[in-house]
A and B are shown apart, each in its own frame.
Chain A
Amino acid sequence: MAVLSAGRLGSQRRAYGSARRTLLRRTTLAALVFVLGCAPLLAQRAARDQDVKATFLFHFCSFVQWPDTAFANPNSPLVIGILGPDPFGTFLDELVKGERVQSRPIEVRRFARVEDARAAHLLYIGNADAPDLGAVLAALRGWPVLTVGESRRRAFAPRGGMIAFVKEHDRLRLRINLDEARAAGLTLHSKLLRLAEIVRTQP
């Protein structure tokens, strides 16, 4: 599992047949890294968690359906926005480069202000533990923006965040506030819902 996690999921975008050799090499490389570098393992782990989350963000695009009104036109890009601190670095940008979801290109934008972030379709709220989370979410309420965040106290989803990353036994899991998503006019795929813990906004 650890090895697998160390693999770059972003490379999945490449053609499967042609990637085989690369894949083999990478697997070998990963094995080498694992065997030779037990020490740097922990150091790298945090980075990898961020990569997984970035990948998840990218994958959310496929499992969520936005209302047509969320886009200017059929070819308008699907915008992944990051509000606040960006934990992903360039990984996310590279991951989505050239990728399309339902013929829409994917764009990663970083926002400083929540008002600007309304332009995003999927918004990672980097500072979910911030006290103004309620204000941020409220600012976004009524906009078809899928809000994703992570709270150490696990309060993101109950507070009105739509998808929350939750770390459980070394495993990244999802908590979804389905009511909020629905209120925003978003439709979440059952495959996604099946894997997630559904929560409700707690007053």
Chain B
Amino acid sequence: MSTRPSIRRRLQQLVVLTTGAALGLTCAIFITLEWRTSLEAEKRAALATARITADASSGMLAFNSVPEATQQLEAFAAEPNVRAAALYGGEGAIFAQYRSATADRPLPATAEPDALRVENGRLIVFAPVIHEGRRFGTLYLRFDLQPMYARLWSYGWISLLIFSGALAAAFLVGHVLQRTISEPILSLAQTAQTISRDRRYELRAGAVKGVELETLTGAFNQMLDTIAEQRAHLEAELVERKRAQEAEAREKQLLATTLASIGDGVIVTDDAGRVTSLNGEAERLTGWSSSEAAGHPLPEVFRIVNEETRAPVESPVEKVLRLGGIVGLANHTLLLRRDGSEIPIDDSAAPIRRPGGSLFGVVLVFRDFTERKLAEQTLRESEALARARAAELHTIMDAVPAVIWISRDPECRIIDGNRASHELLRLPERANVSLSANEPERPRHFEVLSEGRVLRPEELPVQRAARGEEVKGLEEEVRFADGSSRFLLGNATPLRDAEGRATGAVAAFVDITGRKHAEQALREARDELVRVNASLDHAVQERTARLSEMVDELQHVSYAMAHDMRAPLRAMGTFAEILLEETAQHGLTPTAQHYCHRISVAAGRMDQLIRDALNYSKAVLQEPALAPVDLTPLLRSLLETYPNLHPDHADISVEGAPPAVLGNESLLTQCFSNLLGNAVKFVPEGQRPVVKVRVSEAQGGVVRLWVEDNGIGIPENFRDRLFGMFQKLDNRYEGTGIGLAIVRKVVERMGGKVGVESEPGRGSRFWVDLRLAGDSPS
């Protein structure tokens, strides 16, 4: 680069040479023109001079006036340019002559034909001397052109001077001006050099002025862009190619070892379908060794038939050669080995192509299908099972009345749902229901609210669950664009991968719109009720007061009635006994006596019934005054008072000391007398009643007393009814069926409870819970 002239110097040269050429040419033309013009002028002047002189000389020649002629010629001494002059007579001989002091040449001896010519730097004129058309001789003049040449030379020198000056100026101007062109170009060159040397293709040439240079720079930069792009492309390709080569080398290595150790049989053929080589497995499967098989047509080595029809199957290699593509073998293919045994195989064949695309062989890959067939069968079964399970799941999902949503991505771009969900959300089946779906898929005809607020997509239960949150019992409202709503209640649970990260979510919601509506209706009904209640309150109070009055009246009436009924009963009993005593003396028939006896008994029972009823109504009606009662003396007086409780009838023992309880003495007496009375009554015939009264430890301010007997017990199915009115266990035993009802009532009036445990045939255990005296309610 440095040996050749740089653009800078070239431009400089260009400017200088152009200027020089132009100037040189101009000067040359100028000088030439000047020379010619001067010469012409000289010639004209010479001719004029010659004519004048010749004309003036005609008389002299005509009349032989040599002195005058000589004198005339000698006048040329005043004209230094005229070096010599002569007049020749009609015969051509010299008539008169003049030679200047510097004349260096002789005159022509005789006249010559008329002429005007330059000879040896001198202008020579031969002019005729004529008067009135008559020629008298010839004038010869010789002019010196030296002054003209001197002037031309001076012009030359001046031109040279101007030329040199102009060249110098051109050099300087060019030096300045060439920068505007050369510098961008040099800059470009510099850039290009830097780029080519350092391979820095990201460099770009700077901005420049001038259309062409801009274009050049633009083109250059564009070229650089292209180069950079191509370079990147090439580098990428190179890397790719290198990788590919490495991969190829690796693959080759791999292939070599793979082919040797591969579990599949591999047969390579040439383009005519002749076997080239077999790998170990192929040798094993076909029974041919690679060297034996080489050169044989493939069908000889690789004989295959259809498993079912046993018809020969077209060799896949032929098919490849025919079709030019990769072919698989039909199923149910059997390989007939060299020893005659058969193996089910699975194979495929592919063409080997040269880079140009032309075929040069076929690779056939096949394998023993025996095991694989089994595996495939298993796989097919398990797949079918999985499909069935999936179908089941799908069916379950669709069958479930709940709404189910599944998302398999944490952002819930896609949420799948069962049929119920799509029906609920009014979307076609398989549509994406996600409100956080990508814009075009996102449904817009509904929004989801919870607690009266519209939920943002990330606040939705599935989305929350997909971020790993467990959502339970969420109630939400799906509000549609048409203003209708559906209410849902349900849970959402994250789906997690093996590391426990949330990868999606499953949500199940039930449609509680009905319930919601019912609640709404209920609320409305309740409000209505409250309103009605308010209006009814007064009437109810009135009626209650009246009713209470009536009840009181009725109670008093019934009490009075019951009380008053006893007097006639007692009269009936008394008179029946009297009748018996009387008749015993006066011989009444036994039948009559029996009737009298029965009247007496019936009256007694009636009386007892009324008494019990009175007691019961007392227990019901009277508001008992509660006070601490010591149970020990109460029980003792009971045992002493009631004849059926006397030791001659029964063994009654009290274990432990019952504490003082909060109650009413008469009610307690009634309670325990009934319990003890029952205990001694319901014993099998001929058995002595054994009764124990036990006190359990007090607990929570309550003490439990047990009355245990050895009686007939109570069947389980009767126990619930035991404490009802007029319930009698056994008609064999006398009673009104009111006793235990009274017990329960009086215990309840004292704030206690009563109950029974029993084992039929072995006795019963009645218990009574009573509040402790020191524990009266505040």
Contact = CB atoms under 8 A, between A and B. Distances in A.
A26 B89 CA distance: 13
A11 interface: yes
B89 A195 contact: no
A56 to B, nearest CB: 6
Given A191-B56, A191-B58, A191-B131, A23 B64 contact: no
B59 A1 contact: no
Interface string A11-26: 1100011001001101
Contacts of B128: 16
A195 B60 CA distance: 7
B455 interface: no
Given A26-B91, A62-B131, A195 B113 contact: no
B89 A194 contact: no
B63 A174 contact: yes
A45 interface: no
B63 A59 contact: yes
Interface in B119-143: 128, 131-132, 134-136
Contacts of B95: 4
Interface in A71-106: 101-102
Contacts of A17: 113
A27 B92 CA distance: 9
Nearest to A190: B59
Contacts of A102: 132
Given A195-B60, A195-B63, A195-B65, A62 B90 contact: no
B177 interface: no
A9 B131 contact: no
Nearest to A189: B59
Nearest to A17: B113
Size range of the interface on B? 20 to 34
B64 A11 contact: no
Nearest to B62: A59
Contacts of B65: 195
B93 A7 contact: yes
Contacts, number: 72
Contact of A27 (B59, B91, B113): B91
A52 interface: yes
A192 to B, nearest CB: 6
A147 B65 CA distance: 21
B317 to A, nearest CB: 117
Given A17-B113, A195-B59, A195-B68, A63 B92 contact: no
B66 interface: yes
Contacts of B64: 5, 52, 56, 171-172
A3 interface: yes
Contacts of B92: 20, 23-24, 27
Given A52-B64, A101-B132, A192 B89 contact: no
B47 to A, nearest CB: 19
Contacts of A16: 90, 128, 135
Contact of B93 (A3, A59, A62, A172): A3
Contacts of A3: 93
Contacts of A189: 59
Contacts of A174: 63
Contact of A191 (B59, B66, B89): B59
Contacts of A5: 64
Nearest to B67: A171
B29 to A, nearest CB: 39
Contacts of B58: 191
B136 to A, nearest CB: 7
Given A1-B66, A102-B132, A63 B90 contact: no
Size range of the interface on A? 20 to 34
Interface string B65-94: 110100000000000000000000111110
B431 to A, nearest CB: 129
A150 B455 CA distance: 163
B553 to A, nearest CB: 199
Contacts of B113: 17
Contact of B63 (A7, A12, A27, A56): A56
Contacts of B93: 3-4, 7, 27
Given A101-B132, A191-B56, A191-B131, A11 B63 contact: no
Contacts of A27: 91-93, 110
Given A191-B56, A191-B131, A62 B62 contact: yes
A105 to B, nearest CB: 14
Nearest to A4: B93
A4 B131 contact: no
Contact of A4 (B56, B63, B91): B91
A12 B135 contact: yes
B137 to A, nearest CB: 8
Interface string B129-172: 00110111000000000000000000000000000000000000
B91 A192 contact: no
A11 B628 CA distance: 211
Contacts of A23: 91-92, 110
Nearest to B138: A16
A192 B63 contact: yes
A12 B60 CA distance: 15
A194 B132 contact: no
Contact of B59 (A9, A52, A194): A194
Nearest to B65: A195
Give the residue among B63, B65, B89, B136 with the most A Cβ atoms within 10 A.
B63
Contacts of B90: 7, 9, 11-12, 16
Given A12-B136, A17-B113, A62-B132, A7 B91 contact: yes
Nearest to A194: B59
A1 B91 CA distance: 13
Contacts of A62: 62, 131-132, 134
Contacts of B66: 1, 171
A8 B62 CA distance: 13
Contacts of B68: 194-195
A20 B64 CA distance: 21
B208 to A, nearest CB: 77
A62 B135 CA distance: 11
B348 to A, nearest CB: 120
Contacts of B91: 4, 7-9, 11-12, 23, 26-27
A191 to B, nearest CB: 3
Nearest to B91: A7
A124 to B, nearest CB: 15
B89 A4 contact: yes
B128 to A, nearest CB: 8
A102 B134 CA distance: 10
B107 to A, nearest CB: 15
Contacts of B59: 63, 189, 191-192, 194-195
Interface of B: 56, 58-60, 62-66, 68, 89-93, 95, 110, 113, 128, 131-132, 134-136
5 closest residue pairs by CB, A with B: A191-B59, A12-B90, A59-B62, A7-B91, A62-B132
Interface of A: 1, 3-5, 7-9, 11-12, 16-17, 20, 23-24, 26-27, 52, 56, 59, 62-63, 101-102, 171-172, 174, 189, 191-192, 194-195
Given A4-B93, A195-B59, 6 more contacts: A7-B93, A11-B90, A174-B63, A191-B60, A192-B63, A194-B68
25 contacts: A3-B93, A4-B93, A4-B95, A5-B64, A7-B89, A7-B91, A12-B135, A16-B128, A23-B110, A24-B92, A24-B110, A27-B92, A62-B62, A62-B131, A63-B59, A63-B132, A171-B64, A174-B63, A191-B62, A191-B131, A192-B59, A192-B63, A194-B68, A195-B59, A195-B60
